[in-house]
Amino acid sequence: MLEPGTEVRTWLAPAKVNLALHITGRRDDGYHLIDSLAVFTRFGDRLEIEPAEQDDFSVSGRYAAGLPLDDGNLVVRARDALRLEAGAQHAPPVAIRLEKNLPIASGVGGGSSDAAAALNGLARLWKLDIDDRSLARIGLSLGADLPMCLKSQPLVARGIGDEVSPLTAFPALGLVLVNPGIAVSTPEVFKALSSRDNEALPPLPKRLDFHAVRNWLTATRNDLEGAARSIEPAIGEALKALKRADAAFARMSGSGATCFGLFETGNVAKRAAIAIRARHPDWFVAATRSMEVSDGEA
């Protein structure tokens, strides 16, 4: 049995950025079908997990206020779901501390990424003999974004988000994430959709670098952006701010309201973030880079 205080591990729960998001249909149960290229960033929430005498969960950070500390939080539900799968004798009590750096309900998978980090972290801490498919099944029971967040690498997601295809090569991208301080309800955005049967993503170019990715993105969409902007016009202001800061490409991520700008280098992204923050000190603004994958790593 693990002794309290003997092992503390920190896990990054990265922001998920949907570079492109096409809505390709709707199932009879109401779930929408997607075709999305997603990347994960070096910026995100953080989880500290360690053995404890009894379960404990706490939250700190800029966006901690108002987050539930019971099973209304996906991290707690992830812990309990994995314990149920493993058996209580293999899953002793843990203290989990969440540092909440990402805005809530902001289209970058914050809660899902937190839960995925908890599943991955607890599986390691508890030394469980559990495969990726079983973790993805548990994750999907918590939310459609969980299977892709469990991978946390460049990927294409289809189905309801559960059909995940990691890419074998994808470059690191300089990104600025901007949220104008508003939360957007995902169900409300889907309800406002005008079209639910759109074409799938075009094939990715064979050779991927910054310019190829940017050019490919111009032939894609986020089908949720128009609906989200009709609910929260401030999303348009965030996109304008990114373009004013010379983003090579700007778009809303997920169901919003966070938008991303693409920049050729990390340093250019940092300078752009400083400029946007100076004009909009109350907004969430973060310069970061996406995680890359090289041939053979996936």
Active site residues: 16, 145
Q: Which amino acid is at 101?
A: N
Pairing of strands 56-60, 94-99: parallel
In the numeric block, the tokens 């896990």 are attached to 11
Distances (CA, A) of 42 to 16, 29, 151: 10, 35, 14
* Alpha-helix runs per DSSP H in the chain: 74-86, 110-125, 132-142, 146-151, 186-191, 210-217, 225-231, 234-244, 266-279
Burial class (CB in 10 A: 0-12, 13-18, 19+), 273: buried
* Closest-CA residue to 234 (of 282, 274, 188, 191): 282
40: β partners: 16
